[in-house]
Amino acid sequence: MSLKENLDRIRERIIAASLRAGRDPAEIKLVAVSKTIPVEVIKEALTLGVTSLGENRVQEFLIKQPVLDRDIEWHFIGHLQTNKVKKIIDKVSLIHSLDRWPLAEAISRAACEAGIVARALIQVNVAGEATKYGLSPAEAEDFARDAAALPGLEPCGLMTIAPECDDPEDTRYVFRQTADLARALKKSVQGIKMDILSMGMTGDFEVALEEGSNVLRLGTALFGRRY
Ligand SMILES: *Cc1c(COP(=O)(O)O)cnc(C)c1O
């Protein structure tokens, strides 16, 4: 399948899932996960109307970012080392992977130095998988309150990665609990924004969308198997 066919198919599936869920497909953002994908292939995706790209490694991001279009909206979706925050802070639109307190402090510091407000999503690990980063739902409220109080850092919502399952229905509870948590935080943490739910990858994005996701992070569905 060509990139164009893949993208058309993704768009059809987003529309169909939105209709099923009684949602407006226009409110669903597609972040094309371009990790490991060569710049030439990414450029083709951009000509097809992709506007947001997600990378998970600082090194790779810093190589690709300068050679690609200036008005790409960049999303940082991977585990981020505190000593690398400075390198990306003013180059990304959203950090999806705020997963621990020292990172919140590092983002705050770097953003203040750069004179910007950095937007970030709190990553939650609903299934409690030892192999995944993120806060437990129980830790999220105190974390969100403290993070929202830091200068230069604006928490905007939640991100989660569901366990790999053969049947995406098995991950529905993860997305539902994340959406519930976002609603609870919005109520309990004064002034916090919880507008963004980054949930859903190639294997489970329709279920995530049905449960309230408005940012889908898709790699394989668009680019095929990674290099
Ligand atoms: C790689 C990656 C994705 C994309 O995964 P696919 O299954 O290829 O769509 C999404 N989110 C994160 C955090 C990733 O690292």
User: What pLDDT is stored for residue 168 in this prediction?
Assistant: 95
Whether ligand 1 lies within 6 angstroms of the CB of 119 is answered as no
Ligand 1 centroid, distance to 55 Cα (angstroms): 9
CA dihedral angle for residue 97, residue 69, residue 51, residue 73, rounded to 10 degrees: 30
Given a cut of 80, is residue 227 above it in pLDDT? no
CB 44 within 8 A of CB 2: no
Tokens coding 56: 């998970």
Atom of ligand 1 minimally distant from the CA of 222: 9
Contacts 24+ apart (CB under 8 A), 102-106: 104/143, 104/146, 104/147, 104/150, 104/153, 105/150, 106/82
Please give the average per-residue pLDDT across 109-138, as a whole number.
97
Atom number, ligand 1, closest to the C-alpha of residue 33: 4
Q: pLDDT digit string (tens) for 156-207?
A: 999 999 999 999 999 999 999 999 999 999 999 999 999 999 999 999 999 9
Beta bridge partners of 135: 124
Listed in sequence order, the residues at least 6 apart from 100 whose beta carbon sits closer than 8 Å to its beta carbon are 133, 135
Q: For residue 50, which of 84, 22, 75 has the smallest C-alpha distance?
A: 75
Centre of ligand 1 from the C-alpha of residue 170, in Å: 18
Q: What are phi and psi of 20, to 5 degrees?
A: -55, -40
Residue 40, pLDDT above cutoff 90: yes
Query: How close is the Cα of 191 to the center of ligand 1, in Å?
Result: 30
Q: Which two tokens stand for residue 118?
A: 């950095």
The amino acid occupying position 19 is L
Residue 1 pLDDT: 79
What is the pLDDT averaged over residues 98-126? 98
Q: How far is the CA of 115 from the centre of ligand 1 (A)?
A: 31
Residue listed under structure tokens 């690609």: 68
Is 93's C-beta closer than 6 angstroms to any atom of ligand 1? no
pLDDT by residue (tens digit) across 55-66? 999 999 999 999
221 lines ligand 1 (CB under 6 A): yes
pLDDT tier, 116 (very low <50, low <70, confident <90, very high otherwise): very high
Share of the chain above pLDDT 90, in %: 97
Average pLDDT over residues 79-99: 98
Q: Is the CB of 77 under 6 A from ligand 1?
A: yes
Mean pLDDT of 99-104: 98
Query: What is the pLDDT averaged over residues 7-21?
Result: 98
Give Cβ neighbours of residue 152 (< 8 Å, ≥ 6 apart).
Answer: 107, 108, 109, 110, 111, 112, 116, 117, 118
**Model confidence pLDDT, tens digit, residues 66-82:** 999 889 999 999 999 99
75 Cβ inside 6 Å of ligand 1:
no
Q: 188 CA distance to ligand 1 centroid (A)?
A: 30
Rounded to an integer, the average pLDDT of 216-221 is 98
pLDDT (mean) for 107-124? 98
Residue 157's pLDDT is what?
98
> Which positions ≥6 away from 203 have C-beta within 8 Å?
164, 165, 168
Q: Using a 6 Å cutoff on CB, does residue 222 contact ligand 1?
A: no
CATH code reported for the domain at 3-223 = 3.20.20.10
Question: Residue 96 CA: which ligand 1 atom is closest?
Answer: 13
Range list of H helices, the chain: 3-20, 39-47, 58-64, 85-88, 101-114, 137-148, 172-188, 205-210, 220-223
pLDDT of residue 201: 98
Q: Is the CB of 219 under 6 A from ligand 1?
A: yes
Give the total residue count for the chain.
227
Between the CA of 54 and the centroid of ligand 1 the distance, in Å, is: 9
